[in-house]
């Protein structure tokens, strides 16, 4: 079993890149990828530790992409090396956008009568600040009873303190990953909140834009949806990948490599991705 979608303290996970590799070894995973939100800062440490521990490892990133539909669009990019100069400029811009967005969200929460400031957020986060850090802070302050309530009341798309942050269109994000020598993969398709017909059409469009794979195996995908995606991916000749979206204590019910317990991501997903990356060389 492998896990190709994980977060570290470089974004909104609670395990450091090094700890994540140790955990993957301990759990007996055969390969891992680190895919932090809008940053590659954790990759070097994970890459080096994976080498020491002889764990097959892929470098990754998860970029938030503009999406007009009801849900949200995250694009995964996979690479063979942590040195990705081509991505640097754009990721810096994404991180700037994140910062501006965080300040706007603080203002919205203040306007709702919640006493919250940037320093408090910074004390919780070690890398890029995101909504899970807001959720944790709201929980610590006793404003909400759990993280889910924080999202439901304040942070989810459309909620009172939500501010969008994506800068790139799907097309731009896909070509950015490609230019950097990576393989672009649609993350957790269920979050697009499209019905199956719409999703089928959209996947074909994304394929035209250069998408190379779909995250078929995912903690929150039902058996039926997984099967549906598997067939679609095969039909469109897209790679099939999978990951738990492990965030440590920020998503406490999701276990590395196992999701809610019955997630199984075949080793072939890793091998197919690796082969595609080697072809890019």
- Chain positions contacting ligand AMP, by CB under 6 A: 12, 37, 64, 130-132, 147-148, 151, 156, 247
36 binds, among Fe ion, ligand AMP, Zn ion, none (CB under 5 to 8 A by kind): none
131 binds, among Zn ion, Fe ion, ligand AMP, none (CB under 5 to 8 A by kind): ligand AMP
Q: Contacts with Fe ion in 12-41 (CB under 5 A)?
A: 12
DSSP string, 129-164: --HHHHHHHHHHTTSSSSHHHHIIIIISTTSTT---
Q: Per-residue contact track with Fe ion, 49 to 88, x per CB under 5 A?
A: -------------------------x--------------
Residue 44 CA to residue 41 CA, distance in Å, equals 7
Residue 98 CA to residue 131 CA, distance in Å, equals 10
**Interface with Fe ion, residue 128, by CB under 5 A:** no
47 binds, among Fe ion, Zn ion, ligand AMP, none (CB under 5 to 8 A by kind): none
Residue 28 CA to residue 15 CA, distance in Å, equals 17
**Interface with Fe ion, residue 3, by CB under 5 A:** no
Is 272 in contact with 240 (CB distance < 8 Å)? yes
Q: Is the dihedral of CA 136, 141, 145, 149 positive or negative?
A: negative
156 binds, among Zn ion, ligand AMP, Fe ion, none (CB under 5 to 8 A by kind): ligand AMP
Is 232 in contact with 214 (CB distance < 8 Å)? yes
Site of interaction with Fe ion (CB under 5 A): 12, 74, 187
């Amino acid at each position: 079993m492998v896990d190709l979608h994980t977060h570290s303290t470089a974004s909104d996970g609670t395990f450091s890149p090094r700890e994540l590799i140790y955990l993957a070894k301990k759990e007996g995973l055969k390969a891992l990828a680190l895919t932090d939100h809008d940053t590659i800062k954790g990759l070097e440490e994970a890459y080096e530790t994976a080498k020491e521990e002889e764990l097959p490892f892929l470098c990754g990133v998860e970029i938030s992409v503009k999406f007009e539909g009801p849900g949200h669009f995250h694009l995964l990019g996979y690479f063979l090396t942590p040195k990705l100069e081509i991505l640097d400029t754009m990721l810096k811009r994404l991180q700037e956008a994140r910062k501006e967005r965080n300040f706007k969200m603080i203002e919205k929460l203040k306007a709702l009568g919640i006493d919250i400031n940037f320093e408090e957020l910074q004390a919780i986060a070690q890398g890029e600040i995101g909504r899970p850090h807001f959720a944790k802070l709201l929980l610590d302050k006793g404003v909400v009873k759990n993280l889910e309530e924080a999202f439901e009341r304040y942070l989810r798309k459309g909620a009172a303190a939500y501010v969008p942050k994506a800068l790139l269109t799907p097309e731009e994000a896909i070509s950015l990953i490609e230019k950097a020598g990576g393989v672009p993969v649609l993350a957790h398709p269920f979050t697009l909140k499209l019905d199956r017909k719409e999703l089928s059409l959209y996947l074909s469009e994304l394929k035209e834009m250069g998408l190379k794979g779909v995250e078929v195996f995912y903690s929150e995908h039902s058996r039926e949806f997984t099967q549906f995606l598997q067939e679609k991916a095969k039909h469109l000749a897209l790679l099939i990948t999978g990951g738990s979206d492990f965030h440590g204590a920020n998503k406490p019910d999701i276990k590395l490599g196992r999701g809610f317990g019955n997630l199984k991501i075949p080793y072939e997903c890793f091998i197919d991705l690796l082969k595609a990356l080697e072809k890019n060389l």
